[in-house]
Amino acid sequence: MNSEEKIRKSIGARRNPASAEAILEAAKAVLAESGHAGFSIEAVARRARAGKPTIYRWWPSRAALLLDVYQRQKQFAYPDTGRIESDIVAFLTNLLANWRDTVTGPVFRSIIAEAQSDGSAAEALAAYAASRRIETGRMVERAVARGEVAAGVDPAVIADLVSSFAWVHLLTGRLDVNEEEIRAAARAITHGIMKKGGA
């Protein structure tokens, strides 16, 4: 039994935390060295000394693995300023800056592009987007709880509007959007959901 077969046997069907961590670290290193265009399961497998079948069992596509690496490299939190408009401004400002100033922007753009022609990539992106929609929607849920936003507003719809602004700027290379534009977008999004006389 060669070394690769031993590694694959020890990992098994369920994710071994240490082995998964080694693969993710290898993926991060490959991405840093070769960029998203040179990122491949083969390169990660060589770097991690793991079998490709093992990686594909845990990450069914290149995009799925890239998404895990992408999430590790994002460096921003969902804000809670006490005002829904300010929350959206802070969220978009941080997200667009992160995409602009780190490798995460090109990586996420490549994942979106791959999802247009690869079914497994599309599934991975849809699952990721659904989880982010929930997190972004919590800003709206907090605003509803504060009495700032009408109770009938669907947080998922507002989350999609916020994401749409971010994604279109990413995909059209307009990540240098200034704060005034972001504030205008946040006002446009919140104007229709604010209660009359709301702050």
Query: SS3 of 12, please?
Result: coil
Query: SS3 of 191, please?
Result: helix
Query: What is the predicted pLDDT for the residue at 174?
Result: 96
Cα separation, 99 vs 176, whole angstroms? 10
Query: What is the predicted pLDDT for the residue at 1?
Result: 45
Task: Mark the ranges of the chain whose per-residue pLDDT is less than 70.
Answer: 1-15, 193-199
Cα separation, 64 vs 122, whole angstroms? 9
Domains of the chain: residue spans and CATH: 3-58 (1.10.10.60), 75-191 (1.10.357.10)
Q: How far apart, in Å, are the Cα atoms of 97 and each of 15, 22, 63, 137, 189?
A: 33, 29, 22, 21, 20
